[in-house]
Structure 1
Amino acid sequence: MRARDWLLLTFLSILWGCSFFLVAVSLRGGIAPLTLVLLRVALGAMVLVPAVLALGHRMPATTAGWLLFVVQAFLNNVLPFSLIFFGQTMAASSLAAVMNATTPLFGLLVARFVGGEPLTANRAIGVLFGITGVAILVGPEIAGANMGTLLGMGCFLGAALCYGFSAQWMKRLRQVPPIVSAASQLTCSTVMMLPIALAVDRFWTLPAPSLPIVAAVVSLALFSTALAYIVFFRISASAGPQNVMLVTLLVPVSATALGVILLDEALTVHQVLGALVIALGLVVVDGRLIARLPALRTR
């Protein structure tokens, strides 16, 4: 990737790292998980759709065009957001962020077995490192975890798998302007989430949230969703869906820091070690640093 892509990837990791903290604050403030998903995507869509029109772009004009985003919305918003938010009611936000770092590994496996892409030697070795990292990450948690934490961890891994499938599907959207992709995806997500939240959460019966909780929800929608998805689709168009998924390696840094400092969550040695092994696996998958090692040794 180019230097600008890496800068955008770092910026995106901060936006999404903050999202785990904002979700935890919102859930602790009494917002039901599915209602929070609805608010996140709906408020984001309310910002982006007018922006698309103001900038002279057009939303999809055909049924086929919208169906592309219906699938993308389900794989990238509706199902993974719901899984992560439910998971965060049972497990720490820092654990959610660290386990989300398995996304690129799921992306590689989906690309191989669904997309038919070849699994090269460095990719195969990288996947093995990734599996080892996940084992280090979740092993001690499983040993001492209650059923709630185990269910939360299962939700986080399920969300990462969803993102792996969405990366494969997103290849169909590379010619669409990033802001149009973001607005269309969030619009479809809103349409799908509204009846679900109405039926399950019955959010009109819940007590009104306090102003700090409202601020957390609005920040989640505007910065960690609307702005983040513009950046996300911009990187995807420039560097490819598999590369943009590398953001999940950087997300745990900011998410864990916020969870530990502001939410009094524990940071364990095996979480750090597992994340490092997963990162090593992705360095092997990328291959560029390893290819440069002989040249660096001769200097």
Structure 2
Amino acid sequence: MIGHMTQATDIPPRAWSLLVALALIWGASFLAIRTALDEIAPLASVLYRTGPAALALWLWVAVRRLPVTRDPRLWVAFLGMGILNNAIPFSLMAWGQLHIPTGLTSILNAATAIWGVLVAALVFSDERLSPRKAAGTLIGFAGVATAIGWRALVALDVTSLAQLAVLGGTLSYAVAGAWGRRFLRGLTPEVAAAGMLTAATLVMLPVTLAVEGMPPAHLGLRTLAAIGYYALVATSCAYLLYYRILALTGSGTLLLVTLMIPPVAITLGALVRGETLSSSAFGGFALLALGLALIDGRLLRRRDARSV
């Protein structure tokens, strides 16, 4: 999830190493989720993600002896964040991955930052849509359309619906960013993440039981390893890295993660599952990268600085 953006012109070497680590972790999560989906249904895969991740984070909170809020209003905020940042996007993307390659899912996931600019501009007075950001947003959406394929936008088969489901998940992430900025300020990141994932688990449990029935208890080692990775590493540990980067450089730098994730996911999908992507997918990713670079503005500032 990409939240409130701040300007960051220089990235410390430690932040770069954390960015690379986060990109590798999240890039591999697409493969892990797709592997688990070979044995379990999409909603069950989400429940198996949020539950263990919440437990791991609460253990971390207990070890660190971090203060835990008892304000009912904040728990309502956790509920909204859990629905917007976990339950909805995780479910939509898991279903989408049943029908499209993991690499394409990771490319479309980069649209989170594009939606984030629009949502922030609509909600917050200090996040106006400047001409540069507007141009970057338009180019980014052109990249999304190119990655999907213009024909798929009019032929609503299961593949195009899966891609639209992934995009719906990215929109939910963007709304969650605004929700978190509005209602979860002042909390320690670990408590905020643990509360959010707990709320998401409480939502997903009855939904999963109603739609898919009881999640399977006896799973193969490969599936268990995949769940362990995307729940404990790609969710619990990744959130700790995410907030550490946020503290070091500001959230504008996290735009870079959305560009670093797809190469990892595409490579792993090709090596492990033999997936291939069309040339339009790579062209779309190039346009997305250009759009995000314009939104971030860092390259333009460096160019202007050199020309002075």
Distance in 1 separating the partners of 2:167 and 2:101: 14
Which residue identity is paired with 1:222?
L
The reply to whether residue 232 of structure 1 matches residue 242 of structure 2 is yes
Tell me, yes or no, if the aligned pair for 1:24 and 1:88 is still in contact at 8 Å.
yes
2:186 match: secondary structure: coil
Partner residue, 1:40: 49
1:203 match: secondary structure: coil
Distance in 2 separating the partners of 1:40 and 1:295: 45
Partner residue, 1:164: 174
The reply to whether residue 181 of structure 1 matches residue 192 of structure 2 is yes
The reply to whether residue 124 of structure 1 matches residue 156 of structure 2 is no
Residues 240-295 of structure 1, C-alpha deviation per residue, up to 9 Å, x if partnerless? 45543542222111111111111111122221121111111111111121122144
State the Cα distance separating 1:144 from its structure 2 match.
Answer: 10
Change (3 A) 1:156 1:169: same
Tell me, yes or no, if the aligned pair for 2:101 and 2:277 is still in contact at 8 Å.
no
- Out of 202, 206, 216, the position equivalent to 1:191 is 202
Change (3 A) 1:218 1:285: same
The reply to whether residue 251 of structure 1 matches residue 255 of structure 2 is no
State the Cα distance separating 1:15 from its structure 2 match.
Answer: 1.2
Residues 192-217 of structure 1, C-alpha deviation per residue, up to 9 Å, x if partnerless? 1111111111135x483211111111
Partner residue, 1:23: 33
Change (3 A) 1:143 1:197: closer
- Out of 47, 58, 81, the position equivalent to 1:49 is 58
Q: Calculate the TM-score normalised by the size of structure 2.
A: 0.89
Tell me, yes or no, if the aligned pair for 2:255 and 2:292 is still in contact at 8 Å.
no
Residues 26-61 of structure 1, C-alpha deviation per residue, up to 9 Å, x if partnerless? 001x11111110010101111110210111102221
Distance in 1 separating the partners of 2:202 and 2:19: 29
Distance in 2 separating the partners of 1:121 and 1:222: 40
Distance in 2 separating the partners of 1:213 and 1:105: 33
Q: Which runs of 4+ in 1 moved over 6 A?
A: 143-146
1:279 match: secondary structure: helix
Partner residue, 1:7: 17
Distance in 2 separating the partners of 1:69 and 1:143: 35
Distance in 1 separating the partners of 2:100 and 2:151: 10
State the Cα distance separating 1:146 from its structure 2 match.
Answer: 7.0
Distance in 1 separating the partners of 2:187 and 2:241: 13
Partner residue, 2:3: none
Change (3 A) 1:143 1:159: closer
Tell me, yes or no, if the aligned pair for 1:17 and 1:255 is still in contact at 8 Å.
yes
Residues 65-119 of structure 1, C-alpha deviation per residue, up to 9 Å, x if partnerless? 2122111111110000000001111211111111111111100010112224211
Tell me, yes or no, if the aligned pair for 2:114 and 2:140 is still in contact at 8 Å.
yes
Change (3 A) 1:258 1:276: same
Q: Calculate the TM-score normalised by the size of structure 1.
A: 0.92
Distance in 2 separating the partners of 1:225 and 1:80: 14
RMSD (Å) for aligned C-alpha atoms: 2.1
What's the % identity of the aligned pairs?
36
Which residue identity is paired with 2:280?
H
- Out of 58, 69, 82, the position equivalent to 2:67 is 58
Relative to structure 2, which stretch is displaced further, 140-149 or 206-215? 140-149
Partner residue, 1:289: 299
Change (3 A) 1:146 1:71: closer
Partner residue, 2:273: 263
2:18 match: secondary structure: helix
State the Cα distance separating 1:174 from its structure 2 match.
Answer: 4.4
Partner residue, 1:142: 152
Relative to structure 2, which stretch is displaced further, 140-149 or 98-107? 140-149
Distance in 2 separating the partners of 1:240 and 1:152: 33
Distance in 2 separating the partners of 1:150 and 1:251: 22
